[in-house]
Structure 1
């Protein structure tokens, strides 16, 4: 993991070497009713096993599209996406995915929503039950495992969604703005919880977020993307150790330096002219 280095920014210029996640010269183009839109172009990025990487950029720059490529839900128009050195050629069932909305089944309890993952994957019942119990404790859901979604707060619903995504112990966890709809206090609490869970599981994490502070609180590295057509304009090394409490982290010099550099990179790209078709086709 890229931990303990001084904060700094660098530009990705070489093809991404093999890692837990690697994108090499990736481009994505969509055809709308009026024109062809380029969502991503020339994206090169490598994420090491066990690393926590955050992705930030302006709306519509292709952040969510990038996650869909890694998950195999979308095929690149050009370039290659690899997981653990293997090309991604279709939907990957070995990854975990957490979305902005928890998308829980209202007629199932928290525990049974988590175990839905096991039913879909055909996991052994005893193994799944034991893993679910571990995750319920890990995420602070003890006492709420039999509650239904309408009885849970927004933060608890997202904890259930996180448990569901981690049930099969995926080597890679993709998170698409998972805390964006939560109030500030709950979001800070879940940032601290996610850091602890990441440390305990060792899962490689790719997080898309619009919050520069959240990115620097959680990640080893922050990838900054340009406006559409999205590409990697810089990578900031956060330079903090793995254990992070939200309130203490935001007071640290390394955090302030990293957020300033991320914002500088975002500012440098925000004045770029919009490409033809801006606002059409895919979103983030």
Structure 2
């Protein structure tokens, strides 16, 4: 990736100042026994280069929102737009990171990342150069030839993140990517993700169950209601873009944001 042009720079060259737009979106489906409304009348605009965290009770439709943006799921009503273009099917201009790294055990870290290039038929030299940049950015240099079973859970997720960023997507979707990691590794990857976001300015939508993670990483936090999922409130996070972890969690603004999220979720002063 050219340091002179980030994903956000390229996206701003498009027709819309918003990377993602959800306009009155609802998702309904039928089970054997009843009709279920997963999402109801969700509207949200995400400006180019913003980091948005989505929190809410289990089953409120957080992951469903990401599937709508990626085009893996069609809304029952309403409209989803990506950079001004209506999403009508699977999108190839997004990156997606899931809770499980889902690496191929018979491929090295480097070759797991390059799988993205093979699928997209990227020029070989460009893909190798981009892979090296990403592995250096995520602290994986020296582990190019390591296989998944030789990597810790945190390192596996770094590989998955590199794979998702290989094609320089203007929008990165993350569905509980650090949920299975221990607390210390999760904090370390939060710091890494903040740095990567600042360097690339990729628009990020992160689904998380961690109140602290949402407040630490995001510019705005979207708090969802119980199913059918609606937006209860969108909270602005007035913290500097560069966020040292210890300093940030001690900041009164961090305390304000986390307290408000917990209030909306009905969790009081409970821990994550």
When the two structures are superposed, what TM-score results if normalisation uses the length of structure 1?
0.88
Residue in structure 2 matched with residue 86 of structure 1 by the alignment: 85
Rounded to whole Å, the distance in 2 between the matches of 1:18 and 1:50 is 10
Counterpart of 1:120 in structure 2 is 119
Equivalent residue, structure 1, for 2:46: 47
SS in 2 for 1:20: strand
Partner of 2:31: 32
* SS at structure 1 position matched to 2:234: strand
Partners in 2 of 1:198 and 1:180 — Cα distance? Answer: 19
Q: Is the aligned partner of 1:166 residue 2:155? A: no
Cα deviation, residue 126, structure 1: 0.3
In structure 2, C-alpha distance between the alignment counterparts of 1:49 and 1:186, rounded to whole Å: 29
Find the aligned partners of 1:32 and 1:88 in 2 and give their Cα distance: 25
Q: Secondary structure at the match of 2:216?
A: helix
Is the CA contact 1:105–1:113 (under 8 Å) kept in the aligned structure 2? Answer: yes
CA distance in 1, matches of 2:42, 2:207: 15
Please report the RMSD computed on the Cα atoms of aligned residues, expressed in angstroms: 1.2
Matched residue, 2:218:
219
The residue aligned with 1:278 is: none
**Partners in 2 of 1:107 and 1:238 — Cα distance?**
42
The answer for the alignment partner of 1:264 in structure 2 is 263
Query: How far is 1:195 from its partner?
Result: 0.1
Confirm whether residue 109 of structure 1 aligns to residue 104 of structure 2.
Answer: no
SS in 1 for 2:18: coil
Matches within 5 A, 1:232-251: 232-251=231-250
Query: Could you tell me the TM-score, scaled by structure 2's length?
Result: 0.92
4+ residue runs over 4 A deviation: none
Aligned partner of residue 163 in structure 2, secondary structure:
helix
Equivalent residue number for residue 98 of structure 1: 97
Query: Residue deviations 1:42-95, cap 9 Å, x none?
Result: 000010000000000000000000000000000000000000010000000010
Partner Cα separation in structure 1 for residue 109 and residue 76 of structure 2: 39
- 1:135 corresponding residue in structure 2: 134
User: What is the alpha-carbon distance in structure 2 between the residues aligned to residue 224 and residue 260 of structure 1?
Assistant: 12
CA contact (8 A) 1:192 1:245 kept: yes
The equivalent residue for 2:200 is 201
Aligned to 2:19: 20
Q: Once the 2 structures are TM-superposed, how far is the Cα of residue 251 of structure 1 from its aligned partner?
A: 0.5
- Correspondence 1:149 to 2:148: yes
Give 1:117 deviation, angstroms: 0.2
CA distance in 1, matches of 2:91, 2:246: 36
CA distance in 1, matches of 2:27, 2:154: 33
Unaligned runs of 5+ in 1: 1-16, 269-284
User: What residue ranges of structure 2 are gaps of 5+ in the alignment?
Assistant: 1-15, 268-272
Distance 1:18 1:41, change over 3 A: farther
Q: Deviations over 1:7-57 (max 9, x none)?
A: xxxxxxxxxx96100100000001100011000000000100000000000
> 1:223 and 1:18 mapped to 2: Cα distance?
19
